[in-house]
Amino acid sequence: MISDLIYLTEEMEESLEELESAEDFLNFFEVTFDPRVVQVNRLHILQRFHNYLSNYTEELPEDPSARFVVYKDLLERAYTSFVDSSAQQEKVLKVFKKDEPGSGFVSLGSIGGVA
């Protein structure tokens, strides 16, 4: 029934709101992980997961179990990207993008020597 799907979807969304750490998310979505990888990259993993969700182009399934699978797959992709890589290589957070070409700010006053 539709009302059961709505209830289950809302229940899952409420459960997600209670998750606080990367480990909480990984455990909730039953993603096997190495605690050492998570310890070093927890913020990066969660940001990458958020980015994947934000850029997800398909409509999320209404069925809670199907939606769970989508979330799990995206979180697993986010985690896996840091297993054999580093935060510096992946450049998920803004702090690691600041030295890239075109990322600096040059004021108009500094062009041409105007102070």
Residue length, the chain? Answer: 115
Q: 22 and 38 in contact (C-beta within 8 Å)? A: yes
Q: 33 pLDDT band (50/70/90 cuts)?
A: very high
Helix H segments across 19-63?
A: 22-28, 35-54
- For position 93, what pLDDT does the model report? 52
Average pLDDT, whole number, for the chain? 77
* 3-state SS assignment for residue 69: helix
